[in-house]
Amino acid sequence: MVKMRPDVPAPALRLGFDPDALKANWQALDHLSGNARAGAAVKADGYGVGARQVVPVLHAAGCHDFFVAHWSEVPDLLDVVAPGSVSVLHGPLTDADAAFAVACGVKPVINSLDQARRWLAAGGGRCDLMVDTGMNRLGLPLSQIGDDLLASLDIDVLMSHLVSAEEPSDINPIQCKRWRDACAVIPHQRSSLCNSAGIALGSAYHGDLTRPGVALYGGVPREDMAGTIRQVVTPQAAIMQVRDVAAGETIGYNATFTAPRPMRTGTIALGYADGYLRLWSKTGSFHAAGQQLPVVGRVSMDMTVIDLSDAPNVHEGDWVSADYSLPEASAATGLSQYELLTVLGRRFGR
Ligand SMILES: *Cc1c(COP(=O)(O)O)cnc(C)c1O
């Protein structure tokens, strides 16, 4: 007899997700992109937000170009958007990658003449091309943009990637010129240079398509985008236990916190294994019922203790939200806004 597996109960932690803010961020970035359309970088599971929940929202908002890094990220998108709207940034590293792209109908981003040959050998078809204009990481070197082989490719998006768009830098105009030079030589349908921050550099950088990532999810890569971008995700957890702690007692591992007075505390089901890192031990806070609830003692792997002394209306079973505005969290921790998103773990209900 086959035993039915019981449904797993909802976890005591979840990633608060604001689809309206995501939609508004995409629309704002699309508008800032001028004559270009905005696509979306949804790699790394939509920057940790959950590709399967962000892609349908973006698609409904009018987004038709989605970028992932790995081939393993493709299946998550296939039943949510048309395969032809998905590009895989790492390109075909093996013949198996190329065969998979052909079978699924997604576009590889070709990054080298080797990848171009592999793609053509697999049957080829629509692809994108990445030209390296200064990152020196992945992409066709500028010295090869005149190669005859490129004429055999059916290139949709001819792209490059900015090194330093979030700050004024001499390399921005240099990369822009190199990308334009490549566009003049290599046949293609659409041109693309900008990540989130690049969009603010103006129309000379826009081409036909922009590729925002972090700003879609609430990251503010440049001061001048601060008023435009809304917070999209908030780590939230339920209070598992409320306790009274006497003055002089310590809280958590290594007794780093001593109660200066009688306190009321709450233990929540969220820890560094969920990406709520130990560096929040001294600086983190949550909120509920209009009250700020500071973290007390060390964040542990699966639990964090918060101070409820000033929040008598917050009880066991109540949900609290982390103060996790990305620009502020980045300033408080020294971590990048990208890391603060992608570190959020798999135990969150998404
Ligand atoms: C990740 C990525 C983006 C998005 O960058 P953000 O800085 O997150 O906006 C755009 N293009 C490429 C090639 C990328 O790898």
217 is catalytic: no
Encode pLDDT of 11-59 as tens digits: 899 999 999 999 999 999 999 999 999 999 999 999 999 999 999 999 9
pLDDT-derived band at 2 (thresholds 50, 70, 90) equals: low
DSSP E strand stretches across the chain = 13-17, 37-38, 40-41, 66-68, 86-88, 107-110, 126-132, 140-141, 154-159, 190-192, 209-210, 233-245, 250-251, 257-258, 263-268, 285-288, 291-294, 304-307, 319-322
CATH 2.40.37.10 is right for the domain spanning 233-342: yes
Encode pLDDT of 88-108 as tens digits: 999 999 999 999 999 999 999
Matching residue, tokens 């190199």? 178
Residue with CA at minimum distance from ligand 1 atom 13? 161
What's the confidence (pLDDT) of residue 257?
A: 98
Write down the pTM of the prediction.
0.96
Closest by CA to 207, choosing from 228, 176, 178, 186, is 176
Mean pLDDT of 76-97: 97
Q: Distance from the CA of 259 to the center of ligand 1, in angstroms?
A: 45
Q: Distance from the CA of 211 to the center of ligand 1, in angstroms?
A: 6
Instruction: HSE, CB side, 13 Å, CA atoms: give it for residue 57.
Output: 22
CATH top-level class of 19-220: alpha beta
Burial group, residue 261, by CB count within 10 angstroms (0-12, 13-18, 19+): exposed
Give a three-class secondary structure readout of 19-70. HHHHHHHHHHHHHHCCCCEECEECHHHHHCCCHHHHHHHHHHHCCCCEEECC
The DSSP bridge partners found for residue 37 are 209
Percent of the chain with pLDDT over 90: 95
Mutate to test the pocket of ligand 1, among 66, 89, 341 (most ligand atoms within 8 A of CB): 89
What's the confidence (pLDDT) of residue 176?
A: 98
Q: Does ligand 1 lie within 6 Å of residue 213's CB atom?
A: yes
Domain ranges of the chain: 19-220, 233-342
Q: What is the mean pLDDT of the chain?
A: 97
What does the block give as tokens for 97? 């990658």
The DSSP bridge partners found for residue 130 are 159
Q: Are 113 and 120 in contact (CB under 8 A)?
A: no
Alpha-carbon gap, residue 215 to 327, rounded angstroms? 11
Residue with CA at minimum distance from ligand 1 atom 6? 213
